[in-house]
């Protein structure tokens, strides 16, 4: 487990995005970073502050 997005992109096979104590998205590494299904995940991957 890591909170470092760069480490997750480089090392993880599956990635989860948690916001406000809820899992928003779980996907394989490629899908998570290339084509996230949730707009909040997409914003996070772009580097935007998501709250």
Which residues are 12's β-sheet partners? none
Q: What are the structural domain ranges in the chain?
A: 5-45
Instruction: Give the model confidence (pLDDT) of 1-51 as tens digits.
Output: 888 888 999 999 999 999 999 999 999 999 999 999 999 999 999 999 998
Contact (Cβ atoms closer than 8 angstroms) between residue 28 and residue 35: no
pTM score of the predicted model: 0.85
Instruction: Give the model confidence (pLDDT) of 23-37 as tens digits.
Output: 999 999 999 999 999
Q: How far apart are CA 1 and CA 26, in angstroms?
A: 13
DSSP assignments along 1-51, one per residue: --S-HHHHHHH-SEEEEEETTEEEEEEEHHHHHHS-SSHHHHHHHTT----
């Amino acid at each position: 487990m890591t909170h470092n997005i760069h480490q997750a992109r480089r090392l993880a096979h599956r990635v989860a995005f948690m916001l406000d104590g809820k899992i928003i998205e779980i996907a394989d590494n490629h899908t998570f970073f290339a084509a996230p299904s949730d707009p909040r995940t997409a914003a996070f991957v772009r580097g935007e502050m998501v709250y």
